[in-house]
Structure formats: structure tokens, C-alpha cells
Amino acid sequence: VTAPWPLPPALRAPLRPASESWLRDLPWAPVEPALERLQAAPPSRVLAVPAGKLMLFRGEVSSGVSIPILGYLLDTPGVPMVVDCGLRDRWRPAPGAAPSGALGAGSAAASGGPSPARGGTPTGVPEGGSGLPEGAPGLPEDGPAPGMRYRPVLDGPSLAARARELGFAPGRLVCTHLHLDHAGGARELGLPVEASDTEWAEARAGGSGYPAEDLAGLTPKPLTLDPTRPFGPFAASAWLAGGALALDTAGHTPGSISVLVRLASGFALICGDAVYPLLDQPGSPAYLGMLRFRRLLAERADVTLLPAHDTSVQRACGGGAWLGA
């Protein structure tokens, strides 16, 4: 497996025999027809844009490590898109706020958070604490290790503000899933939120990771993926545009999707949190979803993964460097 930067820990970790055999038996649908259609369109370029961060806490204490939240600007033929849009403004620390606000008692998500994999090495960067507005809600997702939790913080420009600075006017917003660190910024973009129909149903049910405050006022635009069009290890797909294909990458959440585009060289797959399973839960939907990515990468060395919480990708796009340009 090749990539221009290190793969997320779960994709590098050795597999248990049971996982190896599950992977061996995993059905594989031809990918060539879809890839040829992508090749026929002009190439896209992609820019990872930081849109907040997840600060890691142990109990009430900041670990001094945070993990970026990345949204993606996708300059694709036909229509400029955003794929995932980071945090909304309610996560902005109040000026002069104390370095540690009260952590609420949010329940842990069964599907696991956007973690750099339990047992793996967090790839975050050290930094100081940051306060939150009075009454800010608790942490909705699990951290990467037992007892660790994330606190979302928007301490820089929102994705919408960054897009404006760059003169990028998106016509569509697609979310890999609707967790608050992927869809919260949608309100400011003012675009309908395209996510899978399964994901919208999940979000409406109000589970952990989908706080009403972050999704309130958004216009749902559910996408239906076509099970008669499987792609490699993924059970369904749907064309978003001639240059962008949505894939059913359920696992992290039941409705998670990823977006595949053609770059000037090879392909990029914007995959949200689909490659961050908890390593001590083999057999969980998130873990099996991750295994599908391992299979894809084993078969297709020309696919580059673009996950949502990756410091290497953030660095590669530092200073506004578009990928695939």
C-alpha cells in the first residue's frame, strides 16, 4: 500500500487471523467502469481546510494534544463542492475564557468517535487549553483511549469563512456523515446538506454525536446509494456529478459515505471517519468498514485516502496547496 503520507493507524496495524479471513472472503465488485467514467471527466483538485479541532481530555484535564477537523473544498468539473464542513460557531471559545470549561456528561457513541484508533498513536499537535462558552454541551464521542474524550473547539476561521477568503463559491455540500464536526458548519454555508438517507434517519433519531443544536435549521437533501452499483469492497454507490462518485462506506456510522474523485494523477477518496475504528473491537461495524478500505488500498495503489482528522493531510495542504493541481 502506497500513500504520500502515513496511513491512519488502523490501516497499518497487523490484522488478527479472523480479520484476515473476513477480508479474504469479502466480495469484490469491478471498479473499472466507474474509474473509466471518472477518467473521462477533467481532473478535480482538492484542498483540505481546517475547520476546528478536537482537544483530547482525560477527565477534566486537557492532555495538551488536539486533532484537526478537516473539511474539503472539491474543485470538480461542473460544480464546486464542499465535502464535510467542520464545526459551527457555537464551539468558538469566548474571548478570555478560562482554559478549562466544564465538561458535560455526554454519553459515549457506540460507533466510536473520529479517533486515531485506540492503541494507536495520536497524530495531534501539542497545545494549550482553551475555554468554551458558558453552558457549552459535553463531549458526544469517545476518545482514542479509555477515559479520554474530545472537546470540539473552533479557534480559527470557519470553513465557510476560509472558502470566502479563497474565492471558492461552493454550489453543493456533501457530508460523509452528520456528526457535529462534519456537518455543523453547514448553516453558515447556506447549502442543503447532502448525506445518505440512512445517515439523515440516524441524525433525526438524535443519537450521540448528533446534537440538535448543531444540526438545527439545516436543509436535508438525502442521497440514495444504488445497491445495483457496488464498487470494489463497497456495497453501493451513486454519482454526485460526472467527476465525483459517492460510495457506501458504512461502519463509523450506518450511513457514512465517502467521495471518490479523479486527480491529475490517480484518485482521491474523501472518507470522513471511516478509517478510525476502535482496534479492540474487531467485528464491530466500524472495524469491518475499515477492513474494506484495507482491501481497496491493497487492490488500488492509485487511490489516496483523505480522512477527516489527519495532520499529515493538513500539512500537505498547508498554505493553501491544492492536491491534484
Q: Using CB under 5 A as the criterion, which residues of the chain lie in contact with Zn ion when the complex forms?
A: 114, 179, 273
Looking at the Cβ atoms of 157 and 207, the one nearer to Zn ion is 207
Cβ 252 to Zn ion shortest distance, Å: 6
| Residue with smallest beta-carbon separation from Zn ion | 179
Cβ 70 to Zn ion shortest distance, Å: 12
56: which DSSP letter?
Answer: E
Cβ 72 to Zn ion shortest distance, Å: 15
Nearest alpha-carbon partner for 132 in 230, 184, 54: 54
Cα–Cα dist 192/61, whole Å: 37
Cβ 241 to Zn ion shortest distance, Å: 24
Cα–Cα dist 158/280, whole Å: 34
Largest Cα–Cα distance in the chain?
Answer: 56
Cα–Cα dist 233/299, whole Å: 10
Cα–Cα dist 161/159, whole Å: 5
Looking at the Cβ atoms of 75 and 181, the one nearer to Zn ion is 181
Cβ 24 to Zn ion shortest distance, Å: 28
The three cell numbers locating residue 38: 471518472
Cβ 157 to Zn ion shortest distance, Å: 22
- Cell 474530545, residue located: 150
Looking at the Cβ atoms of 111 and 237, the one nearer to Zn ion is 111
Residues in the chain: 325
Looking at the Cβ atoms of 233 and 277, the one nearer to Zn ion is 277
Number of H helices, E strands in the chain: 10, 13
Looking at the Cβ atoms of 75 and 273, the one nearer to Zn ion is 273
Looking at the Cβ atoms of 88 and 229, the one nearer to Zn ion is 88
Looking at the Cβ atoms of 114 and 251, the one nearer to Zn ion is 114
Nearest alpha-carbon partner for 309 in 279, 272, 255, 265: 272
Cβ 259 to Zn ion shortest distance, Å: 15
Looking at the Cβ atoms of 44 and 253, the one nearer to Zn ion is 253
Looking at the Cβ atoms of 295 and 309, the one nearer to Zn ion is 309
Cβ 206 to Zn ion shortest distance, Å: 15
284: which DSSP letter?
Answer: S
Which value, to the nearest 10 degrees, does the dihedral of the CA atoms of residues 240, 251, 178, 225 take? 30
Cβ 280 to Zn ion shortest distance, Å: 18
CA angle, residues 203, 209, 212, in degrees to nearest 5: 60
DSSP string over 67-103: EEEEEEEEE-SSSEEEE-----GGGSPPTT--S-PPP
Which residues is 248 bridged to in the sheet?
257
Report residue 196 CA to chain centroid gap.
14
* Phi and psi, residue 142, nearest 5°: -65, 150
